[in-house]
Structure 1
């Protein structure tokens, strides 16, 4: 579960391991869409992902799973190892990138994920592994009891300030997230985090020594007319059932928007309306307020269209199925989060229940945690956690620019509309991340020790430099001035190309354990595949990473 931000002394907030006023067609049918038109595209590189129908995507996954035993042999896995297909990406040139999870003697291997790259002719061209170490565990009999592992996990959660902490039960796994793979327990602790966000703390414990090996948070902190709080009056695709309109978007995988009415559990009640005009454009503390729902539905709509029209991705899981949104979570809850367990976005109403965290870039940020979870699965801790958060900031920014909304223009600021700090400043800055008082501008050996919302600064800075370049610049009326670690001058290649490079790296070269050094390698591989090794784009990627001290 990933919240939108992390609490810092200067704020009260914390946000993790990862989505038209047209005529109604007929009763029970979705109203016609007036999605934001895709921007004019340049010639698409052959290595760009192909847009697949849900059935074609499913067929590729089934075929890859059928071929998994042979693939395991081809790439040199041991007799006790098996591959389980997680996702398949097919490029326009026919290259296929198959992402696998692994098992060892029937046990899940955490950190054992890998991607096999296969040419159109079926030849294996390379393998990207989260951990290159050979898996060879001497004994599968644990010395530690499951009960002790659970107790230690609950203690770890309480030490972080969690309340109502209960363990789901410890399961045996192979931990390959770092170093030599070992037999371990994974325990998931529920309850509530110290700010009221639901808790899904995953604790990995060595089954022989009882030592805590790793922990990460599973919660990743998030036609009618919508009168939104942040994006003005917008068009929303809705559904008519009888004489009642429902905030259900049948054109985008059936996305629904629910009202939790200040509760903290359950799905909530589907928003309905008599005249198909949602919200008032003003904030309200009422638990039946539709304005926050209009913002959430608009954010989901634009995020879906951004991924589809920019990358050919058919929903968060690339299977044509929409997630759902829940608004009015808790009482004065100052956060938003994505939750894999419900496949949903959840938004709090903020201070006084009148500052909902439903701005467009926040919606894009939260749903992008779902995309990360269903692709690279970046661990929500250390440097990989920072990359996870940065990915959501990068694509949340992409959504904002894509929507081309005159009320909420695209910018390289995160959460600038929700005013979390109470002084009109944004939550994060991509051109110079340290302006928020906590984020890192450049990589250092200690950056992985920062909260993931602050270690994300390195990748956010990289993306800004790759898109816009260094120095002073004004974009959509916002002034930026981006420095470099080495005093170099970086020339940007444009946001569109930078987005394509990051998406390809995420979906085909990043794994659960990717750190900043391997992110550099992955994005260079993506740039080479898309634009050619030694191209202007490739060289710009290298220069932008060097400018944030990643070599």
Structure 2
């Protein structure tokens, strides 16, 4: 049978890559108004990147590659659907006992979502949580059981409790608020997808009874919308919102002449992949709903390579789905997206001029547009891998598609898109660390995203900072994509498969790559074993370090490279062999106010104990045996403080910082901010301080609010002078957690200072949690 142009019946290789298992570090506490890097378990300074055969450290070399193989014991064992079902059933039977062992409340229950098992017998059971029979959103956790001992990775670390499970507002009112939110989010043709359901929302500061509404419609770019809106069932306030349709980008490049697995049907053939659980590929015929028409052909020769042939896009889509299925199975032993042997399906030719592709967990399907002018279909291999990987994320960690977790969700899809490209190694789609490099949406020939330096696309971030959670998830994915590139290939100038890269680092220090196979293995294990729905960048660092410890050994060169790559994007610091101490941010404390500052340190020398000393501490403070600095400062001024940590082998390291002692005044009384209402004020009265305030008066503001762009925030001096701190800036980002500096030198210190806040737009609400002034 002639097999020109595109397809022959697909026969795939059956290769396997060994994987492996765990470690954790300490926690770094950083003042919210002075943090410069994402918090991390432990953030010391790393000085070496490898170990010689004799055990001596070797210096880092920019562009070098760490060569190592994962441990086989921590490799996830391939599970047949029957075996997986048996593990799920067994875990379900033990769920009540597990909940009791974890110290959950009497009204809480665990529901098994998935079970994975390593080759050494370690099991990882992922649970959803309920409270009084209600789903607990943000309550998911993973129990890791090895040799009879268990540890847990949790999205919400304490028992869940709410005062009542009787809602204070009716479902209809919540639905109306959710519809208003969808209109504010520019979702057109909004409609409620069924009635709101009552849940417990545990992803916020404290668990609350809430209504979850799902609003359907169409996003600004034509993508379908499944907007989840969480409404506090007592107050009616919007607690959160996130999009349920996870979008991606890709190329219009065809994969060339490739084999396909198809199914005979009478005298014709169907694009149904019998080798992969019957994955089906449909032609939507420019429609936007339903499944369209199953691709069929009379001679099993599909497509012509020309965009005008509708089968061509179907070939790209079907091949991409098959290649992605094979990658997860061959490399990780994963049997389909949900690891249950069930196939998703694909829909090509969605809408008109639709420049995107998307995954919907609700239909368990991938959908692809035809691009600008319906001439650049987004059906490339990396697009298929990207969309199917959204499904893998949904089936495992379930990273919420908003904030930092949304950026990690989107980056996960980019990461495995690159990994699938390298695994396939097609001549027609040479593997690279670019996203959408052939589609040319902007008409410039540039890719949509660059993993080596994400900011080259004009919108993505290269490095983490505290504002990252407030931007679009496709751009907040940038630092994680950058991390993955650095971990795979290392920093600096190099050429990979004919593409030139020159990846920078935030700390200016080199990163040594471990290879894309090892980097992907670490990310996959972190995603499927340790991450939860609310994992942020700091949590991802912890998860990947644990995964690297499982796979390659704690403090192995690969483990240390993971810490290096995170430090290179401003998440934590590098890990040194020997004593590590978390850097301490510059401190400001109040005269006469209790101080409690924990210095976090760790030594890699097994069994060694730690001793803490400090010089330059402000009068009234002292450091204890555990590294806790405490006491009550008595004199204003600034000290140059140095903490030194020494272990019993003699290894030592120091952390230096400035400690300012000043007159700090605070108000921590909650003040609710009415929606589109009058301004509210929070006062601080100062007495006994003659003279005027400083030209660099500091005002720290902590406001909890779901749309900071609604707010104006002012400081009002004792004589009534108003100083604008925030004027509806920050857009849709949550909360105000920021220190402002104002010239208040014309104001007397004594008197009543006020923080004045007003909400000038509807729907979103919040409250003043606390504020401080250092005049």
TM norm structure 1: 0.91
Instruction: Detail structure 1 runs of 4+ shifted over 3 Å in the superposition.
Output: 30-33, 36-44
Structure 2 SS opposite 1:333? coil
Q: Which of the residues 177, 188, 193 maps onto 1:152?
A: 177
Residue in 1 that maps onto 2:215: 189
Question: What's the CA shift string for 1:311-346, capped at 9, x where partnerless?
Answer: 110110001111100001111111100011110000
CA gap 1:340/1:414 in 2 versus in 1, 3 angstroms? same
Residue in 1 that maps onto 2:235: 209
Once the two structures are superposed, the pairs formed by residues 394-433 of structure 1 within 5 Å of their partners are: 394-433=415-454
CA gap 1:31/1:278 in 2 versus in 1, 3 angstroms? closer
CA gap 1:430/1:36 in 2 versus in 1, 3 angstroms? farther
Q: Which of the residues 224, 229, 242 maps onto 1:198?
A: 224
Alpha-carbon deviation of 1:196? 1.7
> Does the CA-based 8 Å contact 2:281-2:318 persist in structure 1?
yes
Residue in 2 that maps onto 1:258: 282
CA gap 1:407/1:46 in 2 versus in 1, 3 angstroms? same
Alpha-carbon deviation of 1:34? 2.0
Question: What's the CA shift string for 1:462-507, capped at 9, x where partnerless?
Answer: 0011110000111100000000000011001111110110000000
Aligned equivalents of 2:15, 2:500: Cα separation in 1? 26
Residue 164 (str. 1) matches residue 226 (str. 2): no
> Does the CA-based 8 Å contact 1:504-1:526 persist in structure 2?
yes
Structure 2 SS opposite 1:398? helix
Residue 240 (str. 1) matches residue 247 (str. 2): no
Question: What's the CA shift string for 1:123-152, capped at 9, x where partnerless?
Answer: 242011001133111111111111111011
Once the two structures are superposed, the pairs formed by residues 261-410 of structure 1 within 5 Å of their partners are: 261-284=285-308, 289-410=310-431
Structure 1, 44-53 or 384-393: larger mean CA deviation: 44-53
Higher strand share: 2
Structure 2 SS opposite 1:487? coil
Alpha-carbon deviation of 1:48? 1.7
Once the two structures are superposed, the pairs formed by residues 394-473 of structure 1 within 5 Å of their partners are: 394-473=415-494
Aligned equivalents of 1:422, 1:441: Cα separation in 2? 24
Aligned equivalents of 2:93, 2:495: Cα separation in 1? 52
Residue in 1 that maps onto 2:164: 139
Unaligned 5+ runs, structure 2: 19-68, 573-775
Aligned equivalents of 1:92, 1:40: Cα separation in 2? 13
Alpha-carbon deviation of 1:88? 0.6
> Does the CA-based 8 Å contact 1:433-1:440 persist in structure 2?
yes
Question: What's the CA shift string for 1:49-87, capped at 9, x where partnerless?
Answer: 111111111111111111111111111111100000011
Larger radius of gyration: 2
Aligned equivalents of 2:70, 2:138: Cα separation in 1? 37
CA gap 1:38/1:427 in 2 versus in 1, 3 angstroms? farther
Structure 1 SS opposite 2:160? coil
> Does the CA-based 8 Å contact 1:36-1:403 persist in structure 2?
no
Residue in 2 that maps onto 1:218: 244
Structure 1, 375-384 or 155-164: larger mean CA deviation: 155-164
How many residues end up aligned between the 2 structures? Answer: 515
Structure 1 SS opposite 2:334? coil
> Does the CA-based 8 Å contact 2:242-2:402 persist in structure 1?
yes
> Does the CA-based 8 Å contact 1:229-1:292 persist in structure 2?
no
Q: Which of the residues 516, 529, 547 maps onto 1:495?
A: 516
Residue 127 (str. 1) matches residue 152 (str. 2): yes
> Does the CA-based 8 Å contact 2:124-2:145 persist in structure 1?
yes
Higher helix share: 1
Residue in 1 that maps onto 2:541: 520
CA gap 1:415/1:339 in 2 versus in 1, 3 angstroms? same
Aligned equivalents of 2:96, 2:17: Cα separation in 1? 43
Question: What's the CA shift string for 1:80-112, capped at 9, x where partnerless?
Answer: 000000111101111000000000000000000
Residue in 2 that maps onto 1:57: 84
Residue 87 (str. 1) matches residue 153 (str. 2): no
Residue in 2 that maps onto 1:107: 134
Q: Which of structures 1 and 2 has the larger relative contact order (alpha carbons within 8 angstroms, sep 6+)? A: 1
Alpha-carbon deviation of 1:37? 5.8
Residue in 1 that maps onto 2:10: 33
Alpha-carbon deviation of 1:528? 0.7
CA gap 1:234/1:451 in 2 versus in 1, 3 angstroms? same
Aligned equivalents of 1:187, 1:306: Cα separation in 2? 36
> Does the CA-based 8 Å contact 1:36-1:302 persist in structure 2?
no
Question: What's the CA shift string for 1:274-293, capped at 9, x where partnerless?
Answer: 11111110112x7xx11100
> Does the CA-based 8 Å contact 2:291-2:347 persist in structure 1?
yes
> Does the CA-based 8 Å contact 1:221-1:335 persist in structure 2?
yes
Residue in 1 that maps onto 2:94: 67
Alpha-carbon deviation of 1:40? 7.4
Structure 1 SS opposite 2:190? coil
Aligned equivalents of 2:220, 2:518: Cα separation in 1? 40
Alpha-carbon deviation of 1:178? 2.1
Aligned equivalents of 2:499, 2:533: Cα separation in 1? 35
Q: Which of the residues 148, 164, 178 maps onto 2:204?
A: 178
Structure 1, 446-455 or 31-40: larger mean CA deviation: 31-40
CA gap 1:355/1:181 in 2 versus in 1, 3 angstroms? same
Structure 2 SS opposite 1:421? coil
Alpha-carbon deviation of 1:423? 1.4
Structure 1 SS opposite 2:565? helix
TM norm structure 2: 0.65
RMSD over aligned CA atoms reads 1.7
Aligned equivalents of 1:432, 1:347: Cα separation in 2? 27
Structure 1 SS opposite 2:188? coil
Aligned equivalents of 1:31, 1:62: Cα separation in 2? 41
Aligned equivalents of 1:323, 1:419: Cα separation in 2? 28
